[in-house]
Every structure is written in C-alpha cells, then in structure tokens.
Amino acid sequence: MWVALLVLTALSVALRTGALDTGYWIDEAIAVGIASHDPADIPGLLRQDGSPPLYYLLLHAWMSLAGTGEAATRSLSLVFAAVAVPTAWWAAGARAAAFVAVCPLLTYYAQEARMYTLVAVLSLVATAAFVRRRPVVMVVALTALLYTHTWGIFLAIVLIGLSHNRLPLALAVGLLYLPWIPSLVFQALHTGAPWSQHPSVLWLVPVALLVAWRPRDELVLAAAAGIALAWLASQISPAWAPRYLFVFFGPLLLVLARRPAWVVAPLAVAVVLAGASTKSNARAVAVSAAQSTRPGDLVVCTQPEQVPVLHRYLPAGVRYLTPLGTPADPSFTDWRDALPRLRAGGAERVLKPALARLEPGRRVILVMPVARRPRSPWARAVRRRTLEWRAALNADPRLRWAGRTSYPDPAQFRSAVRAEIYDLE
C-alpha cells in the first residue's frame, strides 16, 4: 500500500510541474501581492478583496522559505495537490487516490497561486470525518475550510445539518469562525464579486440528476444541497464561479469512489474545463512595454484588476491610473464598492486631470483588455471605460501615438490584454 501511495503521489507531482513558471494572471498576482504584506496586515487587506485569510497567511510563510517567483509561489498549491492523494486514499481508498493523482482540474489548479487545492484537501477531510463520525476532525476541517474559502459555509451547513450531533458541531464551528464574521459581513456589503453574474438554471440539471441517481445517499444529498444553496445565494447576490465548486470536492469524490465506472464522465469533463495551462499574456505585454518605459511614466489600465499583474513585471517607479483612480497599493485590487466607482470613473473626471499633471517627455502606456463579449456588469463597465479612455487619449493634442507592444495571440489565454504607447510632447 505504501509503495502504491508513493507512486501515485510522485505521479501527481510529475504531471503538475509543466506550467509552474508561466506568467501570473489576475487572481494570482493579487494573491501574491496580498501575501507579500506583513501577516498582521493581511486580514485587514482582505476586507478590500473578499477572501478569508488562511491561504494568504500560509502563502506568506511559504514565500519566506521558497521565494517569490512564479514557480516558488505556485509550488505551495502543488504541495496541497500532492497531499490530496494520500488524503483521498484515507478518505475513500485506492480508486479515489488514483483519480486525484491524475485529475486534470487538480493539475490545473496545482499550478496556480490560489487556494483551490487546499480547498480540495480540506473538503476531503471534512467529508471523510463526517462519514466516519469523527466530530473533532470535522470541526477542525470545516473551520479551516471556512477560513480558506467563503463557499465553505455551504458545505458546513449541509454536513452539520446531516450529522446526528448537529447542535454541538454548529456551536463549535460557529465559535471558531466568529472572529471573522465582522469581516465577512463587511465583504458582503462592500466587495462581493462585481465581475460575476447570476448562474444559469442549467447548473441545477446535474444536481437534479445526481439526486435522482441516489436519492437516499447522504453524500449525494450533501453535494446537491450545498450546490443548490450556493446557486440560490448567487441569485440574490452574484458570487458564482465554477472553480468555487472545489468546496464540494470531498462529497463528490466519495460518491464517485463507490461507483468507479462513473469516474470516466467527470474526468472527461475535467479535461475540457481545464483548458490551456497559460492563463494570461500580461507578462509578455509588460515585458515588451518595459523596454521603452522609465520611472515616472504613466500606465493607464482600463481594467483595474490587471494592475497587480503589471506591477509585478513593469519597472519600479512607474505610476498607475485606472478608472477607480490611482491605486494606493498596486500590488492588489481594492474591490470596495468597485462597480459604482468604475461607472463613475469617466475620462473627464479621472483621466484628463491626471494627464494635465503629467510633465512633458513622459510616456503614457494604455493597457486594455482584449475585446470579448462582456457578460457581467463589471465587464460591460470596463468596456465602456476602455472605449472612452482610448478615444480621449487619441484626441489629446499633446499626445503622439508611438506604437503598440507585441503580445502573443490573445485567443490562447483566459485573460488577455494589449497595450498602446503615447509620448507626451
């Protein structure tokens, strides 16, 4: 057993190292930026972001040991993905461990500086503790999950609700989570997920099929009820992203482990959903722009959340401007009331006063998202600001268009940008 477990774990690591050193995309740059601050400051900074603090504190500690490069910061997720293999064996046996070792979705997120492989491990531990009736382990795992991802609330509700000793479990988890409740309330009122949209009712179809398949299975009910709760909550306030479903990784894996023939379908879906390993072309665009950028030049970014990525790769000393204004700290994004601020960030109010203060001889680098069909209110507002701000720059008689940066084909990336350069005469 130990030899098989070692081989599976080594296989999982070998499959998940090919994209560790690619350029960051938006969420990774924000995560690394937040984790770069003092640990005492991280919980307060996350009130501007919308996430719980556990992963960021772990990433801060990891960066102090492994370094701050792309591969170094992502290797923490790789470690959690490796830990998921023996955790799955403990939770549901060899079949579950084999599935976890080769699961393409875990491979994808094992090479991303985000919390999702940690979410998968904690979900597995909490679910296995529920099945084996180990309340102390369940309380610890659920509490850690809540401090890692807010959607852990939905799994905690259903697992505790299905437990025989639900009241003491609820009190224990609630008391341990109580210190974060004020921050959670603030985030719900002021940050949320303005880039998200209401999920389609089609997401409930596989949930209904799952329940119809095994209507009396507690784990099926836990996964289905949790996903349905998340769907309902996102109808009230949009906060839906398919990757958040990692919160239900534990119950879904344990269900599939009982019916190994069913593993083929989700594995095929996982291959499709995983997509390309390179997530953003921002590093290539920034490196190209950096060749003609000097300290004091102005980087105008019409998609505010791209600034932490640009800040990672552009020279020190450049200034940043977005429709939200001048970022106080370009290493992360301030999402507080971001959508109304973005809608109010017109060229007359934000861009032109900043250009008026810019001294002659400076360069203006306009960074814009590559046009795609905007689906959320945030994306639509970004598109309006992009069209308006680019027109204002082209109409300014003091600016001379100096060319474009080079960038790879944007169709290959989840998040793509392009840049144009202007000289201030």
**In 18-176, which ranges are E strands?**
none
pLDDT 10s digits, 291-311: 889 999 999 999 999 999 999
pLDDT in tens, 144-163: 999 999 999 999 999 999 99
Structure confidence by residue, pLDDT tens digits, 88-129: 999 999 989 999 999 988 999 999 999 999 999 999 999 999
Average of per-residue pLDDT values in the chain: 92
Same-domain status, 320 and 226: no
- Residues 304, 240 within the same domain: no
Among residues 274, 296, 330, which one ends one of the domains?
274
pLDDT in tens, 194-227: 888 889 999 999 889 888 888 888 999 999 999 9
Q: What is the pLDDT of residue 266?
A: 55
Q: Are residues 332 and 254 in the same domain?
A: no
Work out the angle between the directed axes of helices 218-236 and 116-132 (0-180°, nearest 10). 140
Helix (H, G, I), strand (E, B) or coil at 312: helix
d(CA 293, CA 245): 41
Classify burial at 337, counting beta carbons within 10 Å of its beta carbon; exposed 0-12, middle 13-18, buried 19 or more. Answer: middle
Report the C-alpha gap between 377 and 371 in whole angstroms: 15
How many of the other CB atoms lie within 10 Å of CB of 272?
Answer: 8
DSSP string, 237-249: S----GGGGGGGH
- Using CA atoms, how far residue 142 sits from 43, 45, 93, 240, in Å, is 19, 23, 21, 20
CA atoms of 252 and 267, how far apart (whole Å): 12
pLDDT(164) > 60: yes
For residues 70-86, average pLDDT: 98
- The structure tokens listed for 377 are 């209110």
Between 269 and 302, name the one with better pLDDT: 302
Entry pTM: 0.94
Residue type, 353: P
Residue 182 belongs to domain spanning: 2-274
* Together in a domain, 211 and 295: no
Are 386 and 203 in contact by the 8 Å Cβ rule? The answer is: no
**Is the pLDDT score of 278 beyond 70?**
no
| Percentage, residues of the chain above pLDDT 90 | 80
Q: What per-residue confidence (pLDDT) applies to 276?
A: 46
Rounded CA separation 132/137 (Å): 10
Pair (137, 267) in one structural domain: yes
Model confidence at 369: pLDDT above 90: yes
Provide the token pair at 19: 């994209």
pLDDT reading at 271 higher than 80: no
> Residues 234, 306: one domain?
no
Examine the domain organization and report whether 249 and 295 are in the same domain.
no
Q: Is 67 left (phi over 0), alpha (psi -120 to 50) or beta?
A: left
My answer on whether 211 and 265 are in the same domain is: yes
Alpha helices in 237-281 (DSSP H): 249-258, 264-274
What is d(CA 257, CA 86) in angstroms, rounded to the nearest whole number?
14
Distance CA 72, CA 64 (A): 10
Same domain for 27 and 64?
yes
Measured distance CA(92)–CA(84) in Å, rounded? 12
| 298-301 sheet: strands from edge to edge | 319-321, 298-301, 363-369, 417-424, 399-404
Q: Which of 250, 274, 298 is the last residue of a domain?
A: 274
For residues 305 and 252, membership in a common domain is answered with no
Q: Are 166 and 218 in contact (CB under 8 A)?
A: no
State whether 263 and 340 are in the same domain: no
Query: Distance of CA 365 to CAs 36, 70, 194, 225, 401, Å?
Result: 26, 25, 26, 48, 10
Query: 190 and 114 in one domain?
Result: yes
- Does the pLDDT of residue 30 top 70, yes or no? yes
Look at the chain and report how many structural domains it folds into.
2
Residues 425, 360: contact at Cβ < 8 Å?
Answer: yes
Of 269, 27, 41, 252, the residue nearest 149 (C-alpha): 27
Indicate the residue among 243, 274, 305 that finishes a domain.
Answer: 274
CB 157 within 8 A of CB 145: no
DSSP code, position 370: P
Q: Are 117 and 80 in contact (CB under 8 A)?
A: yes
